[in-house]
Structure 1
Amino acid sequence: MKLAFKHLLTPFRIIMISYIAAMILFSILLYLPISHQEGVQLSFSEALFTSVSAVSVTGLTVVNVSETYSFTGIVFLALAVQLGGIGIMTLGTFVWMLFRRKIVLSQRMLIMVDHNQNTFSGLVNLMRGILVVALIIEIIGAFILGTYYLRYFDTTLEAYYQGAFAALSAFTNAGFDITGESLIPFANDYYVQLVTILLIFAGAIGFPVLVEVKEYFSRRDPHFKFSLFTKITTITYFVVFLIGVIGIWLLERGHFYVGLEWHQQLFYSLFNSATSRSGGLATMDVSELSIATLLFISGLMIIGASPSSVGGGIRTTTLAIMFLTIRSFALGKSDVKVFGREIHPEDKQKAFIVLSVFTMMLFVAVMLIAAFESGNNIELIAIIFEASSAFGTCGLSTGVTADLSWPSKVVLMVLMFIGRIGLLVFLFSVRRREQKSYFKYPTERIIIG
């Protein structure tokens, strides 16, 4: 019985259970009276939604954070965001190292699953590097924003408090704010926007990329070579970012941008492209954008960030491999080559599975929410945008989150949860154990397309 139970608890399922446990724990903490401001009544369902959104570093909320939670509640929220951002196994590894515990094979397997790695090699060093790099970036971001916020807030304590939370939210791409208006008060402050964009980039580009960059500058080895993962991830991330900037500007130049100065149009496009990948912060009311732009941003949120980062979505490598595979097919090639390397067939298969299952699940989610909200007069574009934001763990919203019924909110929570743990982890956790095939049937071709 014990052996059978052990076989059921695969690393993928343990990771799922760990995140579910964290979401339940923080929902209880956020529901406690000490977490609320005086006179505020909060239901457990609202606390649960906030907790799921925080641990999944999404940022969708059904309450106004600044008006609902006390300082203690904000601290609990920040801890949930930090845990969800750098990953449960990263903090777990830190605790193991702190108590000088040996990282055994089973724990290395959990680390590998949590951060979507393909090998055991260098996992502990990767976790140590992630924690160090994340804390350094967050501290620097908190200092820069806190110091700059002295011109906006009455006291030094309030300025650094706001700066620390803003830096944490931007780096983890969580999308939460304690201003009550996201970054709308800083719509004309390009310094705050640039710092926030850089923090979003740092969190979404992928921890392995940050660790490799750190090694490159620390070693100063002229023969140092970046991995294929870093090359593909970085190029894809910034190409999609530039496409986002141009696309948003083209779609809005005759709509929201009418009458705005060129620099205002530029920074609205820059910030919206950066935040729509997984950041969730906003310098404007997103509902004022045109339907075409909302659909375009939904596509950016679906693409999301990089693997082993704080963001969700199908991830940049999936998009890159799908594009390279289609390109190779168009050129009449059976293999996919890039940067002097050949893409493994299994990775091509995973990319196809992730894109297909993601699209199917998103379609089902939109259909369910549309059915649940049939009597609430919520537009289809708002539903598509909300579901894409939840699945891509972005957090942008047209403002309908709080108006949705409880079944629709459950759908969004499921999307946020799967978006955080990753679609492959979810699929591996629900599939049966692989069974060896002792025979094969004759192969026969079928018509495709």
Structure 2
Amino acid sequence: MRPDHYKKLTVPQFTVITGFLIIAFGTFILATPICSSSDVGLWEAFFTATSAVTVTGLSIIDIGRDLTIVGQIILATMLLIGGLGLMAITTFLQGFVVTGTELRCRLDRGKTLDEFGVGGVGRTFRGIALTAATLIIIGAIILYYFGFTDINNSAERFWASLFHSISAYNNAGFGLWSNSLQDYRTNGVVNTVIIMLIILGGLGWRVTSDIWSNRKSLKIRNLSLHTRLVIRTSFILIAIGTLGLMLTESIVNGNFFSGIDFQERFVSSLFESVSARTAGFTNIPISIETISDSGLLLLMTLMFIGASPGGTGGGIKTTTIAALMAATRTTLRGQNDVVIRNRQISDKVVLKAVGITVASLLFVLVMALLLSMTSGHGNSASFSFLEMLFTCVSAFATVGFDLGVTKQLGHFGQFVLVVGMFVGRLGILLLLSSIWQVINSGRLKHQTRVGYPHEDLYV
């Protein structure tokens, strides 16, 4: 593509292209001998790079064994790029390519950034980076001195602390050990630090910035509606997930909590409930043999909802589900306006929430359909539909939970997951917007104001 063609790209199109370029660059770097062993080819590197940039955590290699320290550093860098906001970084890159500061161009950027939940560039992005660096460093220090104390080598302990702090804050779920954090299930420091980093990373920049700005007053009413709604919804989901897992796995299935006492059950349930939105770390084995179907359904629900706008996680977002619940309540009450906390929500926001949810559901179902068509054929092993659906939700919501399906899929099945991770991280509406703009690139750009007659539709 010639340089002058970049000037014609919209922000969504530029973001998609930039994402492809970063993944391609990471693929070739990870495939080199300096970064990985001979077991990692271009395909393994491609899958890993996509999972890193989309901060998912699904992997078909053993990170600690198959990647060298250089490869692990490259992987951590890609986690930071994907987690801190591919959209904000893209806008900076676009500034070097697209000349001119026309008002329309700036409004286009601002609108798309706002849809991503970033809210702007420049000083805002510096604030995002500074906040992330501070929390990651604090988390790494605590893990080094009080968490991973069983690692005797100071250099290994330092890198394990920093890598897992980066991975946790970015809701990535990548770990240096094949069993994730299961060896530290009874370590209160490790569990607490990882949980706090996941929550803080998933809340989003708007929320952390709002809380910091009102830190002196400490009055909830001074916080914005967005902040209050995100915090409330997030902790309700965490509570539902924690109590739900304890209930389903203690009553329905005894294998998940086999051999552990009540306190460990609570900690593990809390850890997995937080990790399901959308980090992917595990401190207890999760497989089709250990967890019940009801537990898997609960985890899929938490994964699909995901984190909050502007956060490092995926999913349809907490504010989306909150808007849908408010709209449902309005319908049941026979009211006309959607109201949350004495604030009227515009119809545009509600329609966007419906669009995101419906498009995401359809996309996940298509993914599951494609995987089910390949199950048991060629090099792909045979799996139940629940296993495949769980894996698809995990990929689309950029969670990284795996029931042992990913590694056993053929290349086509893994490619379906790659597409799901990419679409899930960029956002289904952003991707559809870029495709729609390409399709309509040759048509008139000016919108015509056409009014249509109203007619009722019975639903």
- Tell me if both proteins adopt one fold, taking TM over 0.5 as the criterion: yes
Equivalences for 1:220-231 in 2 at 5 Å? 220=217, 225-231=222-228
Cα pair 1:138 1:171 within 8 Å, conserved? yes
Which of 239, 242, 247 is residue 242 of structure 1 equivalent to? 239
1:422 aligns with 2:433: no
Partner of 1:67: 65
1:280 and 1:86 mapped to 2: Cα distance?
18
How far residue 137 of structure 1 moved from its aligned partner, in angstroms, is 0.3
2:360 and 2:65 mapped to 1: Cα distance?
35
Cα pair 1:150 1:156 within 8 Å, conserved? no
Partner of 2:25: 25
2:116 and 2:408 mapped to 1: Cα distance?
39
2:223 and 2:70 mapped to 1: Cα distance?
43
1:245 and 1:30 mapped to 2: Cα distance?
37
Cα pair 1:149 1:159 within 8 Å, conserved? no
Q: Is the alpha carbon distance of 1:117 and 1:158 closer, same or farther for their aligned partners in structure 2, counting shifts above 3 Å?
A: closer
Partner of 1:312: 314
Q: Which one is further off, 206-215 or 397-406?
A: 206-215
Which of 388, 391, 395 is residue 386 of structure 1 equivalent to? 391
Cα pair 2:169 2:198 within 8 Å, conserved? yes
Cα pair 2:147 2:187 within 8 Å, conserved? no
Partner of 1:357: 359
Equivalences for 1:147-296 in 2 at 5 Å? 147-149=145-147, 151-217=149-215, 220=217, 225-254=222-251, 255=253, 256-287=256-287, 288-296=290-298
Partner of 1:11: 11
Amino acid at match of 2:235: F
Q: Secondary structure at the match of 2:277?
A: helix
1:212 and 1:102 mapped to 2: Cα distance?
32
Amino acid at match of 2:384: E
Q: Secondary structure at the match of 1:397?
A: coil
Amino acid at match of 1:377: S
Q: Secondary structure at the match of 2:316?
A: coil
Q: Which deviations, in whole Å up to 9, do the C-alpha atoms of 1:353-385 show, x marking residues without a partner? A: 011111111111101001011432212111011
Partner of 1:113: 112
Cα pair 1:182 1:282 within 8 Å, conserved? yes
Q: TM-score, normalised by structure 2?
A: 0.89
**Structure 1: runs of 5+ lacking an equivalent:** none
Q: Percent identity?
A: 29
Which of 339, 343, 346 is residue 344 of structure 1 equivalent to? 346
Count of residue pairs brought into register by the alignment: 441
Q: Which deviations, in whole Å up to 9, do the C-alpha atoms of 1:402-439 show, x marking residues without a partner? A: 10011111110111001111122112212246752354
1:305 and 1:20 mapped to 2: Cα distance?
24
Q: Is the alpha carbon distance of 1:231 and 1:91 closer, same or farther for their aligned partners in structure 2, counting shifts above 3 Å?
A: same
1:32 and 1:110 mapped to 2: Cα distance?
36
2:183 and 2:218 mapped to 1: Cα distance?
44
Cα pair 2:116 2:309 within 8 Å, conserved? no
Amino acid at match of 2:192: L
Q: Secondary structure at the match of 2:278?
A: helix
1:146 and 1:115 mapped to 2: Cα distance?
37
1:80 and 1:311 mapped to 2: Cα distance?
15
How far residue 115 of structure 1 moved from its aligned partner, in angstroms, is 5.5
Cα pair 1:90 1:131 within 8 Å, conserved? no
Q: Which one is further off, 242-251 or 3-12?
A: 3-12
1:421 and 1:281 mapped to 2: Cα distance?
22
Q: Secondary structure at the match of 1:427?
A: helix
Q: Secondary structure at the match of 2:222?
A: coil
Partner of 2:48: 50
Cα pair 1:141 1:195 within 8 Å, conserved? yes
What is the Cα-based RMSD across aligned positions, in Å?
Answer: 2.7
Cα pair 2:203 2:230 within 8 Å, conserved? yes
Equivalences for 1:370-381 in 2 at 5 Å? 370-375=372-377, 376-381=381-386
Q: Secondary structure at the match of 1:278?
A: coil
